[in-house]
Structure formats: structure tokens, C-alpha cells
Chains A and B, each alone.
Chain A
Amino acid sequence: MIKVENLSKVFVHKPIFEKYHIEFSAPKVCLEAPNGLGKSTLFSIIAGLDRAYAGIVSYDGERLKTPQDKVALASDNIKFPAFLTAKQLLTMTQQSWQCPFPDQLIELLGFSSFLDTTFSALSSGNQKKLQLINALMRQTPYVILDEPSAALDHQSTLHLIEYLKDYQGQILISCHEPKPFFDMGFVPQSLFSS
């Protein structure tokens, strides 16, 4: 369970969150809100990538010094070094977190033939696949997927949903076409409901 309390966050002099509270208790949550209200910012904060905020974020009641140890995030907010190949990027993640190389995921999302392509040369759909593989391969207790189906082809979206069904850990997503995710068991939760 992820709990955010008293969160205040200002972005370029504009307050995004002020004394904000939210709790994600369901194992699979789909966060809903129109564009530009701060979903991606909240995800970056929960994943420990954005430290410029005031408030408390706890993970199963525990406050983490380095949340990225336990939270993996797939988001456009993480800019990959454009000149590295997909394989080099995945190997970096493998070495950094001592996890196995994600052959199964690569196969599942039909990404095998793009491993030697540089990130900048990948299509937007393949960049999204790489983000997803990069986050899911770590098998962390919490995984956050920001717009996982955006730019993804229908077949890959179905494969992804199938994969997420058996994922051992809490999953947070944001999605503008959430129906297939709801069908699989994701629970809708509004960004400003609590």
C-alpha cells in the first residue's frame, strides 16, 4: 500500500499539490485525471525520482530513503540516453539492480528485433515498450506505469495486460483508455478523490 500525506509540490511557481493526501490500497490501481493535473509528477515523487517536495510518502507504512530501490517507474518523464541501444539500456538496468535479463518480456512484447537500435531511432511505440520492459524486468514490490498503452499496438497492449495479471506486487497506472485494464481487475481511483 502506498500512502501520500500532506504533499506540497510547486512547479515553476505554480502549486500542483497543496497538503494533498491519497492512498493506494488496491493491488492494481488505475489513477484517473485529465491531462496536466499532476499524475506524472505524483508518479515521479512516489518513485523517488523527484525529491523537491514537502510531505510524507510511505510504502506499506515504511518511509524509504531511496524509494527507487523498491519502486520501478515507466514514464516519458525518464529520459533515456538517446545514443544507447535498447540492449545497452536494459543491460545497465540489469547490472544496476542485479536482475535477470528480460528475455521473456522482450519476446512477449515483440521487441527482439529492436535490441540493437538506439533509443533515438526507436518509434514511439517501441520507446514505450522499452520503458515498460525496463521497469517490469526489475520485479519490484511496486511498479508504476504512466500511460502504458499509449502508442502501443493492440496486440502488445493485450500481451502487457496478460503479463500484469500475474505480477507479484502493487501496480499503479494512469491510462486514458482504461477499459481493458478494468476488465483485468484494475480499480479506478481519481487523483483528487481523497
Chain B
Amino acid sequence: MVHYYRYRLSAFKVELKELRRQLAEFSLLLATLFFVYLPGLALGVFFALGKIVQYESELDVIYMTFGFLLLQSLLLHTLKSAVLDTAHRNYHGTLLKSRIHQWVADQGLLLLCHVLFLFALFLAVSMGLQNLLQSPQLVMFMLAQLVLATTLLYRPISVFVVLTVACLLVFVCESFVTYYVALAVVLVGSLLLPRQYKAVKLSKVTAHSFWWQWAIEQPWAVIWRLGVTILTYWCIWIIVTERPDLKSYYAVMAQLFTVLWWSSLLIDTHKQVIKYRSYWYALSQFTQVQRSQCMFVFSLTFMMWFGGLVLLGSGIFELLTVLVTPVMMWVILRAARYMALTWAVAVVALMLTKVLIA
């Protein structure tokens, strides 16, 4: 069976390489813009894990757990097809007598790319058994990480349910034991849900409601953006709680990130417009559907941006960030490869003006 494991590893590497190629330009730009914060990012993960080990209030553990579980789900969902080798899943059946090898390979590759769990494992090992036994919440947290990651591979709908409930429980639970038990109960309960996601069908589809039907059918395009937006606001909220003096800068950055996540939805919708171009022409609705995709993306961006204003407060620069949306949308429709650059220019221009005025 070594040949099978070797095949899975090489398929995994090939897909990761492709993913890296796709994200290279954007990652490089983010790294260039925020290179000062990169070491802090890795330290931030340990800082957050440290908050789980040595907490001031049990709520800290709950907040950190939710943030980590959401972040890991977003990261692992991106890597899921590489881990499972989804494109060639049927081919595995022609190589294997028993599915156990497939499962072992899945879990091995999952562990290999589950960076956040590896961070926690590193911390747990360096703490030693004696200290670890005194921090049962870290063990519970790591267990939650593993179980949710495995569930994500085979039953993503359960992960969605667990994360939604986890988000709501943050405002209800005061003890982390209750929180973890509640998550476990919800996870078990969610296993009763149908494995396959069955989308609701709108009775009438027009050039406008087409996008709602598309979002219902392919919810990942919206869900990951919603997840990243929650994470962005969550991180900024924690930072500004620690450093209220920097609130106005971080709030503007949070809004700019939200604009980036949501205006980039136009890349996905525009792909649909191009893919079904002849269909829209045949209906004489091409112009309408082009317009409606812009309205759809702008309204979602505006909603999320407004949520940020309510959460983090508003000022002149926070309000100005919404003007970046139409610019981003215009660039995406004409030359999507300049999207990241446009966003970077907007960030530098706004932040520089803010610093100069301050």
C-alpha cells in the first residue's frame, strides 16, 4: 500500500503548488504591506493559545476557542480538495481493497496542513504532562480542533451548524466546560442532518434574483467571506479592547479588509456572467445581469461594512472606506489582476492621509 500513500502525498503536493501559484501575487502584496506585522502574527497565535492556558476569565477561553475554530475551518476548507484529492476520489477505489487506507491518508494529510493544531500541539508538548494536566481546557480545545477538522472533511454541513451555534454561545456561556459540552452535543445532533446540502429553489428567477439563487446553490463563496469578516472584526475588537488609543486606525483597517473580502465577490459573479454569456445573450438580458451582479455585490459589501461601523464606531475615514468599493468593482470588471494593487493603493492613500491629518 506504500504506492497509494506515495500517490496521495504527490497529489497533495501538486494541488498545494497550484493553490500557492493562485495566491502568490496576493500573498506577496499582503506580506509587503504588512511585513512588520508578520512575526507578530505567529506570536499572536501563541499569545492567543496562552490565553487559553492561562486565562483571566473563562470567557477568554470561549472567545479564543471560537476564533480558532472559525479560522481553522476557513483554512482547512481551502485545502480540503487537496487533502481529499477530490478530483480523483473515484480513482482511489480502483487502487484499494479496503477504504481504511483512504481514511488514514486523509487524516495524515489533514494533520500535515492543520497548522493551528500543530501550534497547539507544540505548546502542549513544551508544557509537559504535569502542566498539561493542570490545563484541561487546552486538551479539550485540541480535541475540538481535531474533531471539527475531521468533520469538515466528510460532513461540512455539521461544521457550519457547530460554528453558527458556537458563535451564538459566545454570548450565552460563561463556563468553558459548558461551552465545549454544548459544542459536542450540537456536533452529535448535527450528524442527524442530511449529508448532502439541498438548496432551496426560488420559484421565479430573474436577472436580479439569479444571484440569490447562485449564492444559495454555492454558499461557500459567501460563507468564507462572512467567516473572514467575523474574524477580522473579532481580531480588531480584541486589539482595540487592549489598545483603545489605536482604535481609529484599526477600525479603518478592518473596514478596508471588509471591502476587500466582499468586493472580490465580483470576481466569482463575473465568472458566472462570462461562463453563461451566450445564455444571457439568448435571453437579451446580458446588460441586466451585468448590472444586477454589481448591485448584489455592492449591497452585500455595504451590509458588512455597515455592521463594522456599528461594531467599531464611525469617523470620517471609516465612512470614506466604503468609497473604495465601487473603485475595486470597476477594476475587477476591467482588469481583475490589478485588484490587489488597487486595494493596496487605497490602503496607503487613506492611512497616509489619516496620519498626516492627525
Contacts and interface: CB of A to CB of B under 8 A. Distances in A.
B283 A88 contact: no
Contacts of B218: 83
Interface stretch (A23-31, A72-80, A151-159, A173-181): A72-80
Interface in B255-283: 272, 275-276, 278-279, 281-283
A91 B207 CA distance: 12
B282 A68 contact: yes
Q: For this complex, into which size category does the number of interface residues on chain B fall?
A: 20 to 34
A5 interface: no
Given A68-B284, A69-B284, A81-B210, A88 B202 contact: yes
B215 to A, nearest CB: 11
Contacts, number: 60
Given A79-B275, A81-B210, A83-B217, A116 B201 contact: yes
A11 B202 CA distance: 38
Interface stretch (A13-21, A42-50, A163-171, A182-190): A42-50
Contacts of A127: none
A194 interface: no
A96 B284 CA distance: 7
B278 A77 contact: yes
Assign chain A's interface to a size class. 20 to 34
Interface in B21-69: none
B204 A91 contact: yes
A93 B205 contact: no
Contact of A68 (B199, B275, B276, B281): B281
B284 A80 contact: no
Contacts of A35: none
A92 B206 contact: yes
B204 A83 contact: no
A49 B206 contact: no
Contacts of B279: 78-81
B299 interface: no
Contacts of A80: 276, 279
A66 interface: yes
Interface of A: 44, 47-50, 66, 68-69, 72-73, 77-81, 83-85, 88, 91-93, 95-97, 116
Interface of B: 199, 201-202, 204-206, 210, 213-214, 217-218, 272, 275-276, 278-279, 281-285
24 contacts: A47-B282, A49-B278, A68-B281, A68-B282, A69-B284, A77-B278, A79-B276, A79-B279, A80-B276, A80-B279, A81-B210, A81-B214, A81-B276, A84-B213, A88-B202, A91-B205, A93-B283, A95-B204, A95-B206, A96-B283, A96-B285, A97-B283, A97-B284, A116-B201
A-B pairs, 5 with minimum CB distance: A83-B217, A96-B283, A88-B205, A49-B281, A78-B278
